Structure 1
Amino acid sequence: MNKKRLILNFLPSIILLFIIFIFSSQKANVSNSNSFQVLYLLKNIGIDLQSSLGLHTANFIVRKIAHVMEYFMLSCFIYRGYKKSEFNNPLIYTFVTIFILACLDEIHQTFVPGRDGRFKDVLVDSIGVVLLVAILKVKKYFKI
């Protein structure tokens, strides 16, 4: 497979990685502000997590769901890239790649003011790839 084709297969992954990098580069106060904006938007559509859970817990839940969803999307894109590039065992490569990228993201955050790298966030990010594995297993089981 030529390099151009390989890059095209992974282009969605590269774009999403860039977006994740931008969000991870935000100072803690900016990142928290974004989470609060999500809580405000949810409240406007009738989902008031803040009143039922408290501000700190609601913010925590929004942040962790965001981690899982962004890494789920990244897992889908990377899996697609490996599969289209005809790698053997694309799911294993995807799992390892996501774990490494999540580790690198947490290391990167140690250099951002007010942020820190946490291994538990690597595990939260890895839930995204576990979700992909589960969906693929269900899809295979039901032959969808």
Structure 2
Amino acid sequence: MKLSILWAILYAMLIIGLSSIPGRSFPDIKYLSQDKLIHIGEYLIFGILVGQAIAFRVTARSRIFLFTLLLAGAFGALDEVYQTLIPGRDNSYADWIADLLGVIAGSSLFLMWRYYRDQAAAD
């Protein structure tokens, strides 16, 4: 198994682990926007890792972006549904949208890095 796939799987397990913590165990977040920034940051990293794992098999940047968005976005949606099973937690469309924004940002950063790396190698 390619190492990039392993990192994406391990990070997905970390997300599930964090989602499994009962809601009352988390420190209070004063502002709603802080919660959304945490979701964006969490899924930005996930978008980078999933994009890198997908790039192991897929070379076209548009397909890497699309597959990353579909896979990580579906994972985020399933994670939101999973949270309804955890005491003190609930699901939120706004959280899922923040997850998607993070995936978009992460996969975009990965693809920009890959583009500039390839350009530098070509020179």
TM-score band, normalised by shorter chain: 0.7 to 0.9
Distance 1:77 1:107 in 2: 22
Aligned residue among 11, 20, 26 for 1:16: 11
- The structure with higher relative contact order (CA 8 Å, sep 6+) is 2
Q: Any conservation in 1 of the 2:48–2:109 contact (CA below 8 Å)?
A: no
Q: Considering only aligned residues, what root-mean-square deviation do their CA atoms show, in Å?
A: 2.3
Superposition TM-score, scaled by structure 2 size: 0.79
Q: Which residue of 2 aligns with 1:106?
A: 80
Shift of 1:124: 0.7
Shift of 1:15: 0.9
Larger radius of gyration: 1
What SS class does the counterpart of residue 55 from structure 2 fall into? Answer: helix
1:19-58 counterparts in 2 under 5 A?
19-31=14-26, 33=27, 36=28, 56-57=30-31
Distance 2:107 2:90 in 1: 29
State the percentage of identical aligned residues. Answer: 22
1:1-144 counterparts in 2 under 5 A?
4-5=1-2, 8-31=3-26, 33=27, 36=28, 56-57=30-31, 60-86=32-58, 88=60, 89-135=63-109
